[in-house]
Structure 1
Amino acid sequence: MSDASRRARLGWAFYDWANSAFATTVVAGFFPVFFKTFWSADYPAETSTLQLGLGSALASLVVLFAAPLGGAIADRRHRKKAGLFWVTALAVAATAGLFWVGRGHWLLAMLLFVVASIGFFMAMVFYDSLIVDVAAPAEYDRVSALGYGLGYLGGGLLLALNVAMTLAPDFFGLDGRADAIRWSFLSVAVWWAVFSIPLFVSVREPSPQQAPAARDALREGLRDLAGTAREILGQREIWLFLLAYWLYIDGVHTIIRMAVDFGLSLGFGQESLIVALLLVQFIGFPAAVAFGWLASFWETKKAIYLGLAIYAGITAWGYFLTSVWQFYVMAGAIGLVQGGVQSLSRSYFARLIPEGKAGEYFGIYNMMGKFAAVIGPVLVGVTAALSGSSRLSIVSIVVLFAIGGFLLTRVDARQAPGTGQTEQG
């Protein structure tokens, strides 16, 4: 492997280190709480919850339709890296803008959050699809896992620093907790911008002799997207994998979203939940990398099965949780498999897709990811309402892992139009 190839792979993987700070500090950490207590503090809790929910739904809806189209256009113009640059710049600017939003200005805060979220998720379309330009098919697993591993480590490190800022603002020369959170948003923007540079410097995207104009690319992208949808329906291995992925990743996302609520329902304090979140991040780093190496001498699908089996065991064990230390063990177990399942799903899908269509296919892949966490929360809520038990409701997620895992057993990468011949079954 040449030095340029190594730099390209490491530069690509470092984008996960860069953008994961948004997912941890902003999305999972401070924005929801700060929105309620600072920007929308003049409204009842129910109203601020509605505002937050509508904003998140709007971002998801935009990405739902824009992701496949953006990927198709990028494929047409061979400009995946350029697309990544512009949506990253948009997201970084919007995240930085949160620093200057004053108390009570909930609409501006929500607008910036929606824009940043759209940029974050659209960036994943271009970023994921670039894996085919930085690694050979036999190396997808390890390179993808390295990205997820660095993402857990980078996101966890900045989150730990931001938590320390809120716990001891005087030590950092800040005027209280609110000031610390505002600076945390700015730190995410700087972190994201700085650590994205290695990708833009080191990754080389092949350029065609002549790329279509933007308007032609849009028209052709729309046509290609419709054709891709028809292609997928005619390619059993791809649509079956996407269906399996949608179900089991719904379970993964549901646990991510419902874990805090589950911990609160058991009476655990906010400090305990922060510790659990940090455990997931720091255990997730070596675990995701280890899953990549596991897949390199084992079958990728078998490694995914292992992750899903552990997930099913974690959710079943959730019924018996009674103490904080057990919640920490649960968080640690999630950290062991969360990045592995996500990274190997990405690399396995990369093997299935036809050459030259990574952008549009990964656009649909990410669209399925946005559809995720739809069935799971409903399943949890309905089970809780019917049974009156939050413990039983969390166990219901096992169904998603079981059905998704079963459907994955029916996928044979060797029958797909991509490079699946490098992977056994």
Structure 2
Amino acid sequence: MTAGPGFADLTPLARAREQKAWNWYDWANSAFYTTVLTVLFAPYMITVAGKAAGCSDADETCRRTVSVLGLHLAAGSLPFYLTSFATISSAFLLPVVGAFVDRSSHKKWHMAGFAWSGAFFAALLFFMKDDHWQVGAVAVVLSSILCGCSLVSYYAILVDISTEDERDRVSSRGWAWGYLGGGLLLLVNLVVFLGHDTFGLSKGLSVRLSLLSAALWWAGFTIIPFRRLRDRPPQHVVAESGSIVQRSFGQLVTTLREARTFPMTMTFLVAFLFYNDGIQTVIGVASTYGSKQLGFGQSVLIATILLIQFVAWGGALLFARLAARHGSYRSILWGTYAWMVIVVLALFLPRGNVALFLALGVAIAIVMGGTQALSRSFFSLLIPRGREGEYFALYNACERGTSWFGTLLFGLVFQLSGSYRPAIVSLVVFFVLGAYFLHRLDPQRGISEAGNAVPEAV
């Protein structure tokens, strides 16, 4: 849509409508990540698998095993093995999905199709009860992989609906909507879970209904971006012969071979690999650190989880304003410095001091929302046009395929020291390495080499 003589250019208004629609998918899928993967799935599966292994409800450290494809795995470790398997599988699958997306003129169909398929498998978690853990194992692996596939298309659409100067604002609003939506449903589900007797529900049924609600939320709200976004033809794709699947593999090979011609893009991916691993590990071990090292009970930890969700909403919007003034690159770099300060301060938190623990949670939320949102928008500027799906697949693969490094270091340091304090401060190495590679990055050069317009503030 362009303006003719005597007519106003309505293109920005059309983009704004699509950008608002695009935000809704962050709102939709975040419920799966918060309610299912972050809070409820793991402890509930441990209970169900524990029953199958012969563990009593009172035995929280039961090490009896269940058989998975001939492997005898401890019931208490099963959900972590499953999510790790889904993570590693995604790292190999997503680049091929991205190449497929780049060649398609139906990105929103792929986004929605993967989302609805993932939500279907997530809904099957409702049937994980008694000692029937197998349905939950299949459901969580497939729903996690399919959610990652949907995000490849979702991220690629960002480039279609926004100019280079709009990316930070649009991406940050999407993250903000995601934190808000995921937090609201999690709040409702925690009320149902903690007050299950009041609602006439068993503890297990309250969890199963909460897992089902996340699947329905994900599927239902995906309808909004699906209906309001419009598809566009692919641009600048690599000429390959054969079927669309064969052409997708061909483009993947070509892009990996040509990646060295975009050194700044690859430098950012390495930086993101490190500092994002640090972020994910801090988020993942915060409850363990709070309960085991600082002595907080379940009520404090739940309050902190909800606080982080809602404050991160404001953090994403705050960093969007920071990026508008100083640029996303500088804002991300400053964010890595803030993460270094946070993990060092965590080392000195006194045991039992709720106020300081919540204050640190606020700091984590502000920086978490901002750095994640701006990383997505800044990376979009480093992608050559027509390769959005594949490069965002590599972006997600870096995030998913290496996100266990931090937890491994955390576990090793705890095993060697016997304390979670040196374990938490050891994570500073990931932010130091992230900042190091960010300093080696020339953002203007990277954006220009990718063929994109350099925003006013970088």
Match of 1:236 in 2: 263
Residues 58-101 of structure 1, C-alpha deviations (whole Å, 9 max, x = no match): 21122111101001011112332222111101111111111123
**Which among 138, 161, 167 is matched to residue 134 of structure 1?**
161
Alignment check: 8 A CA contact 2:46 2:77 kept: no
What are the superposed Cα offsets for residues 29-50 of structure 1, whole Å, 9 maximum, x if unpaired?
A: 1101111123543325331133
Kindly tell me: are residues 245 and 291 of structure 1, through their superposed partners in 2, closer, same or farther at Cα, counting changes over 3 Å?
Answer: same
User: Secondary structure at 1:41's aligned position in 2?
Assistant: helix
Higher helix share: 1
Q: Does 2:324 match 1:312? A: no
Note if 1:288 corresponds to 2:316.
yes
Whether 2:356 is the aligned partner of 1:326: answer yes
Contact 1:249–1:372 (CA under 8 A) maintained in structure 2: no
CA shift, 1:380, in A, is: 1.7
**8 Å Cα contact 2:49-2:75 kept in structure 1:** no
Give the 5 Å matches for 1:208-287.
Answer: 216-266=243-293, 267-287=295-315
Match of 1:94 among 114, 121, 129: 121
Q: 1:185 aligns with which of 208, 211, 217?
A: 211
How much is the aligned-residue C-alpha RMSD, in angstroms?
Answer: 2.0
* Alignment check: 8 A CA contact 2:48 2:131 kept: yes
What CA distance in whole angstroms lies between the structure 2 residues aligned with 1:239 and 1:260? 33
Q: For residue 225 of structure 1, report the CA deviation from its aligned partner.
A: 0.6
In structure 1, how many angstroms separate the alpha carbons of the residues matched to 2:437 and 2:453? 17
2:230 paired residue number: 204
Q: Does 1:19 align with 2:29?
A: yes
In 1: Cα distance, 2:18 partner to 2:241 partner: 27
1:9 aligned residue: 19
More moved, 50-59 vs 114-123 = 50-59
Give 1:118-133 correspondences, 5 Å limit. Answer: 118-133=145-160
How many residue pairs get aligned? The number is: 423
2:134 partner letter: L
In terms of mean alpha carbon deviation, does 41-50 or 359-368 score higher?
Answer: 41-50
276-285 vs 116-125, which deviates more? 116-125
Structure 2: distance between partners of 1:373 and 1:327 = 25
Alignment partner of 2:404 out of 374, 394, 402: 374
Partner of 2:183: 156
Q: Deviations over 1:371-406 (max 9, x none)?
A: 232321222222223333210110011111111112
Taking only the aligned residue pairs, the percentage that are identical comes to: 34
Q: Distance in 1 between matches of 2:456 and 2:96?
A: 29
Structure 1 outlier segments of 4+, above 4 Å: 211-215
Segment of structure 1 superposing worse, 230-239 or 137-146 = 230-239
Distance change >3 Å, CA 213–CA 247, structure 1 → 2: closer
1:321, distance to aligned residue in structure 2 (A): 1.3
TM-score normalised over the length of structure 1 = 0.95
C-alpha displacement at 1:205, in angstroms?
A: 2.2
**Distance in 2 between residues matched to 1:115 and 1:100, nearest whole Å:** 15
Please point out which of 73, 77, 82 is paired with 2:104: 77
Which letter maps to 1:141?
Answer: D
Please say if 1:195 is aligned against 2:228.
Answer: no
Who wins on radius of gyration, i.e. which is larger? 2
| Alignment TM-score, normalising by the size of structure 2 | 0.88
CA distance in 1, matches of 2:15, 2:300: 42
- 1:407 alignment partner in structure 2: 437
Structure 1 residue 420 displacement after superposition: 5.5
Per-residue displacement from partner, 1:340-391 (whole Å, max 9, x unpaired)? 1011011111001101110011011110011232321222222223333210
| Superposed displacement of residue 24, structure 1 | 0.6
Cα distance in 2, alignment partners of residues 332 and 339 from structure 1: 11
Q: Is the 8 A contact 2:167 2:377 kept in 1?
A: yes
